[in-house]
Amino acid sequence: MTAGSPPRVLVDATSVPADRGGVGRYVDGLLGSLGKLIGTGIELAVVALRTDVERYGRMLPAAEVIAAPAAVTHRPARLAWEQTGLPLLAQQTGAQVLHSPFYTCPLRAGCPVTVTVHDATFFTEPEHYDKSRRTFFRSAIKTALRRADRVIVPSKATRDELIRLLDADPTRIDVAYHGVDHAAFHPPTDEEKARVRARLGLGGSEYVAFLGAKEPRKNVPNLIRGWAQAVRDRSEPPALVIAGGQGHDDDIDRAVAEVPAHLRLLRPGYLRYADLPGFLGGAMVAAYPSYGEGFGLPILEAMACAAPVLTTPRLSLPEVGGDAVAYTSEDPAQIATDLGALLDDEARRLALAKAGFDRAKEFTWESSAEVHVAAWRRASA
């Protein structure tokens, strides 16, 4: 690469799940904005699952989009291919930098490697992960910090925790905040709200929304308990809708069993992407009392939909929410107090909705892409 010329980057998108969860939103948002920089900022190649090749081909007409072997849809096969097939592909495509967007990377890539480490909660909140997952991701993070030329993280909080807990080299870490797709996540129309209410069978009932994985770290059981305590004595108690993937938190079922019979709790699973603005923006409150996040994309997406947000001041969440969200603790009694106060204060909910929507405009995938490109230039140099 000559001085000042755009580096040729191979992005490994094979870790993107079919449900377009957090890592999918990150990779899709990043690649969409990188497409505008091809030829001036970077030269781009993307390797993707076969089901995503057409999608990325349309999104990135000026990039080389390559189908990964069919077997990599299974994680063990993908991890094995990452160590052998991916370095070979980097060589074949003439990559000057290989970017791995989800913790793991080849140990011998044949070119500089950058890795996105999404959060440090495997170290700060170890009790919220099962042993195998905790062990795997702790090892992956340590390896990335040791072997990658640069590590990209989505928040200052994550950077600071990696430095504090693992003695990571701060000069090799770049902070690239996530963005939000403002076309996909927007203040909903009345029609969009009504469509979601009809799909969920809510009728005219108000509701509190949660959207995310059902992992212990997300604190869904205490949200259920706090909501039930906050609304049980109301004449028209708002429902609680817990949407998103199934996850592996057994305590959720125990919390559901404790809910009084006259209260309504819905668990619709995944919602269609097109329904998310109506779901989030139609809620009285979008509640997300997490024990800690590497970034907190669900609260940013809710803010972009003009939903009043209630979350915790843990790790990165204040970096995202700032003064535009309401805060509570992880404790169900405190959640009940703070959620109840919000439900009773329409003026505050309206003010938070506006403040959150305005703040969400500051987080763009274009800005994130620029930080990634700068990191790739440093790595290739």
Q: What pLDDT is recorded for position 33?
A: 95
Alpha-carbon gap, residue 326 to 322, rounded angstroms: 9
Structure-block tokens of residue 275? 């329904």
Per the CB < 8 A criterion, the answer to whether 211 and 287 are in contact is: no
Q: What pLDDT is recorded for position 55?
A: 94
Contacts of 217 (CB under 8 A, 6+ apart): 121, 125, 128, 129, 290, 291, 292
- Print pLDDT tens along the chain (381 aa): 445 578 999 999 999 987 777 888 999 999 999 999 988 888 999 999 999 999 999 999 999 999 999 999 999 999 999 999 999 999 999 999 999 999 999 999 999 999 999 999 999 989 988 899 999 999 999 999 999 999 999 999 999 999 999 999 999 999 999 999 999 999 999 999 999 999 999 988 999 999 998 889 999 999 999 999 999 999 999 999 999 877 777 899 999 999 999 999 999 998 998 999 999 999 999 999 999 999 999 999 999 999 999 999 999 999 999 999 999 999 999 999 999 999 999 999 999 999 999 999 999 999 999 999 999 999 998
Structure-block tokens of residue 376? 């790739």
Alpha-carbon gap, residue 220 to 212, rounded angstroms: 9
Nearest Cα neighbor of 42 from 6, 66, 82 is 6
Per the CB < 8 A criterion, the answer to whether 285 and 301 are in contact is: no
pTM of the predicted model as reported, rounded to 2 decimal places: 0.93
Helix and strand numbers, DSSP H then E, in the chain: 15, 13
Decide: helix, strand or coil at residue 113: strand
